[in-house]
Amino acid sequence: MELIYKNERTLFGWMLAISLLIWLGLIVGTVGVALVYLLLFFVAYCFAQSALISYLKGTAVKITWQQFPDLKERIDQSCQRLGLEQVPDAYLLQMGGAFNAFATRFLGTNFIVLYSDVVDALESKPDAINFYIGHELGHIKRNHLRWSALLMPASVIPLLGAAYARAREYTCDRHGFHACDDLKSAQLGLAALAAGGKRWRQMNVAHYSAQAAETSGFWMSFHELVSDYPWLVKRMAVMRSLAQGSEVKQPGRNGLAYVLALFIPRLGAGGAGALISVVAVVGVLAAVAIPAYQDYTSKARVAQAVSVGRDASAKVEHFFYANGSGPATLEQAGFALADPGHAVQDVRVDPDNGVVRVFPADPALRGNSIAFTPRIDDNKRVAWRCGSDDIPSKLLPADCRDN
C-alpha cells in the first residue's frame, strides 16, 4: 500500500517552488532586511513553542517503559513498522473530553501527544489507538513539521495551502492504517472521533461512510476547500476502501465553491480557524454588500429630497404665474416643508433667479444641494432643470442627471 497520498508530492512541489520564490523576493527586495525579521520571528516562535513544550513536560504524563508501558510498546512498534528510526518523546494529556492527538517539534526533538479520552474510549480495542499513534508518526516520518516554516509563504495561498494540508492528513491516515494490526482498527479510531467515547461502539461505519456522498454540494465543498482537514466521512470512506484492498472514488466538489474559495486565504480549520474563515467570508461579502447598501439608502433619501424639491418648485411656478415674478421666500409662495422621512435638511429659493435648492440630510451629502433651475420655454411656460454639481450622478434620479 502506498503510504503517501497521491496529491501530496505534487502539491508539495508547488508549495516549495512558490515559497522559495517568495523568500528570495523578500530577501532581494529588502536588501537582506527580511532576514532580520525572520530571525525575530524565529525567536518569537521559539518562545511560543517553548511554552507548549513546557506545559507538556509540566502537566502531561510522559509515556515510558515505567509509565504506561502498554502505550510505550505500541509507539515503539508503530515506529518500527513505519520505518521511523528515532522514537519521538510521547506524552499522555488530559484535555477535558477532547478527542485528538498531535505531533510537534522543538529544537530538533519530535513529540507526539495522545489525549487521554481517546485512549480511555478505545480501551476495549487498543489496536485502534495505533491509528492515532501512526497518524502522528506520519507527520514526523514525512517531515511535515520540518518543512512548515519554509513553506509558510505559500501556505496562506487560497486553495493551494489548504489542499496541501488536507493531502498531509490523508497521508497520515494511511500511516495510521499501516500501524494497525487489524485492518478495521483505523475505522474504529475514526468512529471514536465522530461519535464520542461511548456511542462509537454502536455506530454503523458503513452508513457513516456513505454520508460522503452528501459532501458535493456548494457549501460543503466550499468549507472543505478552505479547511485544513477533509470531511471525516471522507476519511472514513478511504479507510474502509483500504481495508478492502481498493481505493475509493470521492464525490466531486461544486465548481462555484472553488470560485468563492479563491478569495479565502488558508487560515486553518476547526475552532478559531473555522471562525476566521467565516470572518473572512463575511469580510469579502461585506466589501461588496455594504457599499451597495449604502448607495441604495443614499439613493432612496436623495429621491425623497428630489420629491420635496419638485413640490417647492411647483409652488414657485404657481406664484410666478399669479404675480409675474418670483417669490422672495418659499413661505411667500405658500410652500410648507412636509418631510416625514427627514430626508431634507433645508430648502431655499433665490429671489433673484427663482432657483430652488434642496439640501439632503444624508450625512455623507451634508452641505451639497440639488438645484431646480427655471427657464421660460418657447410656449412661455416655466420649465425646470434638475441637477447637481456636488452629488454623484449615480445617486440622482435619471431625470436629474445631465439635464
| C-alpha cell, 345 | 435638511
Q: Which one-letter DSSP state was computed for residue 67?
A: S
Q: Is the pLDDT of residue 161 over 50?
A: yes
pLDDT cut 90: percent of the chain above it = 53
Position 276 scores a pLDDT of 47
pTM of the model: 0.66
Q: Does position 284 have pLDDT exceeding 70, yes or no?
A: no
Q: Exposed, middle or buried, 374 (CB in 10 Å: 0-12/13-18/19+)?
A: middle
Average pLDDT over residues 48-52: 88
Residues 12 and 124 in one domain: yes
- List, in order, residues 6 or more apart from 57 with CB less than 8 Å away: 91
Same domain, 181 and 305: no
198 and 304 share one domain = no
113: nearest Cα among 103, 98, 123: 103
Is the residue at 365 inside a domain? yes
Same domain? For 185 and 308 the reply is: no
pLDDT tops 90 at residue 176? yes
Q: Is the same domain home to 14 and 151?
A: yes
Q: What is the mean pLDDT of residues 30-47?
A: 78
Local confidence band at 377 (pLDDT 50, 70, 90 cut-offs): confident
**Are 311 and 197 found together in one domain?**
no
pLDDT of 271 > 50? The answer is no
| pLDDT for position 128 | 93
Q: Answer yes or no: do 198 and 317 share one domain.
A: no
Nearest to 261 by CA among 291, 223, 295, 296: 223
Q: How far apart are CA 234 and CA 303, in angstroms?
A: 54
As a whole number, the mean pLDDT across the chain is 87
Instruction: Please check whether residue 263 lies inside any domain of the structure.
Output: no
Chain segment 292-322, per-residue pLDDT in tens = 667 778 888 888 888 998 999 999 999 988 8
Asked if the model's pLDDT at residue 269 lies above 50, the reply is: no
Q: How confident is the model at residue 275 (pLDDT cuts 50, 70, 90)?
A: very low
In a domain, 246, yes or no: no
Domain-located, residue 224: no
What CATH number did the domain enclosing 109 receive?
A: 3.30.2010.10
Q: What is the DSSP letter of 250?
A: P
Mean pLDDT in residue range 362-383: 86
The answer as to whether 273 is a domain residue is no
The domain spanning residue 326 has which CATH number?
3.30.700.10
Query: With 60 as the cut, is the pLDDT of residue 281 above it?
Result: no
pLDDT, tens digit (0-9, with 9 covering 90-100), for 190-211: 999 999 888 999 999 999 999 9
Q: Is residue 245 part of a domain?
A: no
pLDDT (0 to 100) of residue 287:
53
Q: Structural domain tally of the chain?
A: 2
CA distance 192 to 124: 12
Measured CA distances, 76 to 3, 21, 85, 244, 320 (Å) = 19, 39, 10, 27, 102
Q: Which domain holds residue 194?
A: 8-157+171-202
Tell me whether residue 318 is in a domain. Answer: yes
**33-59 helix and 8-29 helix, angle to the nearest 10 degrees:** 130
Using CA atoms, how far apart are residues 171 and 8, in angstroms rounded to an integer?
Answer: 8
Residues 48 and 175 in one domain: yes
Q: Is the CB of residue 227 less than 8 Å from the CB of residue 174?
A: no
Task: Specify the 3-state DSSP secondary structure of 99.
Answer: coil
142, 84, 241, 255 alpha-carbon torsion, rounded to 10°: -10
